[in-house]
Amino acid sequence: MIRRCTEMDINAIFQIINDAAIAYKGVIPEDRYHEPYMSFKELQHEISDGIVFWGYEENEQLIGVMGIQDKIDVSLIRHAYVRTNQRNGGIGTKLLSHLTGLTPKPILIGTWDSATWAISFYEKNGFDLVSPCEKEVLLKKYWNVPERQIETSVVLRNRIL
């Protein structure tokens, strides 16, 4: 079942993000990886900044989460994670499909350029990489990330753009 997450889910969201983000260890630039990958305070900030999390629940337990954030003339997919032991079961695809159905706006997704599995997942689900020049413009316009993260990231967009 897919449902909108509530304040009661924040601990589960925190656990899912940090469990799944272990996949980045040794893959993304060393200076961008830390443990926990996302602090509890950072998660609270992201939610207060307008990210609405949706979760995939099975047997009354959240096993995957994905956020959507309204930004001016686009929507951003943010923090898409599935528990490590639940991957490759279609949960990410179901969440992405649900979230893309929530907005008529074009959708952008940012991820690490070395996270090839994530890029492949989004491409398989109808998203295309933007050019490096366009990536820089989009990351500076819609995200609040450091220059180093801009250097080491990619942006994908859905094909309706």
Mean pLDDT over residues 59-71, rounded? 97
pLDDT tens-digit map of 130-149: 999 999 999 999 999 999 99
**What's the chain's average pLDDT?**
95
Give the domains, in start order, of the chain with CATH numbers: 2-158 (3.40.630.30)
Q: How far is CA 122 from the centre of its chain?
A: 11
Phi, psi (degrees; rounded to nearest 5) at 33: -100, 135
**Is the Cβ–Cβ distance between 53 and 8 less than 8 Å?**
no
Structure tokens at 76: 């951003």
